[in-house]
Amino acid sequence: MKNEVLVFGHKNPDTDSICSSIIHAMLDKKNGWETKAVRLGKINKETQYVLDYLGIEPPELIEKVEEGQEVILVDHNEFNQSIEGIEQAKIIGVTDHHKIANFETSEPLYYIAKPYGCTATILFEEYKQWGHTIDKKEAVLMASAIISDTLLLKSPTTTEHDKKALEELVKIAEIDVNEYGLEMLKAGTNLDEFSVEELINLDAKKFEKGDISFVIAQVNTISIEDVLKREKEIKEVISKTIKEKGLSLFVFAITDILNSNSEIIALGEKVEVIRAAFGKALENDKAFLEGVVSRKKQLLPDIDKNM
């Protein structure tokens, strides 16, 4: 695999990480270089809905990279969210919409960072810039990623760029954005068959501040109550994870995608951070955060600041 440039998103891949990897490789091909989309984890149900809709196979799963492997990162840059061996890989490009942290390379690279709601929106603009037309399959992939990351443009992370891109993409994709979007998002909310261990790791991201590390995990649902049926077990597994991984805080956000609110469960020695961050005390290790749906914009910055 060493000669092939690998393109991948973060661990616990979401729809943007998968679709943007595929799109990036397609764009590279149009521009005359061979790259290969791969993934760092299991395909979630929402993403599976997109792949099934298009009748395409998921990218190949890889677990680590060898020293010197050429890679392109999409939808992430932090090494602790990336693949095992990333420190020794040769990063030749990054296309991302997150804050830049713990990132360093020994050689120059292509780095495209824009504070948009989705990586696919950046890639949409790249297509335009290179003068490439977008076909139906590409449009479905990009539109799905934007719908996912912005929760149908309702998340505060949404920018005018995302709105414009989605508007154009759904026409090419020939989809009814609300109908397709809601079906796709709902496909990802069927959580019953996951074990609690799987549940808290479905979309978990680890962050570091100095020598402190903490996790913010998130699941989408159409019923917070439904997820809380397993509250006791969820707390037990989170406590176990905190011990095993030496975490200072674990925040599990259960996000109601229909009403745009989140209930969080927070555990760890640094739980007082929650009150400082959101002006709300935890009751029974939980807090209801009205209007909060975005980890990137509404959870992480305030938690990080108060750590």
Positions touching Mg ion (CB under 5 A) are 14, 16-17, 75, 119, 149
Residue number of the CB closest to Mg ion reads 16
Q: Which CB sits closer to Mg ion, 101 or 282? A: 101
Burial label, 95 (beta-carbon count in 10 A; 0-12, 13-18, 19+):
buried
Q: Which CB sits closer to Mg ion, 188 or 268? A: 188
CB of 67 to Mg ion, least distance (A): 26
| Inter-residue contact 204 to 241 (CB < 8 Å) | no
Residue 300 to residue 101: CA distance in whole angstroms: 13
Q: Which CB sits closer to Mg ion, 239 or 260? A: 260
CB of 115 to Mg ion, least distance (A): 12
Place of tokens 């840059």: 77
Nearest of 27, 10, 6, 29 to residue 18 by alpha carbon: 10
| Inter-residue contact 214 to 268 (CB < 8 Å) | yes
Indicate the Cα dihedral angle 287, 293, 295, 299, nearest 10°: -40
Q: Which CB sits closer to Mg ion, 48 or 239? A: 48
Q: Which CB sits closer to Mg ion, 10 or 240? A: 10
CB of 10 to Mg ion, least distance (A): 6
CB of 63 to Mg ion, least distance (A): 19
CB of 232 to Mg ion, least distance (A): 26
Q: Which CB sits closer to Mg ion, 119 or 298? A: 119
Cα separation of the two ends of the chain: 40
Residue 225 to residue 191: CA distance in whole angstroms: 12
Pairing of strands 204-209, 212-221: antiparallel
> Left (φ > 0), alpha (ψ -120 to 50) or beta: where does 135 sit?
beta
CB of 17 to Mg ion, least distance (A): 5
Q: Which CB sits closer to Mg ion, 235 or 295? A: 295
Please give the backbone phi and psi of residue 76, each rounded to the nearest 5 degrees, phi first.
-170, 165
Length, in residues, of the chain: 307
CB of 32 to Mg ion, least distance (A): 26
Q: Which CB sits closer to Mg ion, 186 or 210? A: 186
Residue 233's H or E segment, with its range, is: helix 231-245
CB of 175 to Mg ion, least distance (A): 20
Burial label, 195 (beta-carbon count in 10 A; 0-12, 13-18, 19+):
exposed
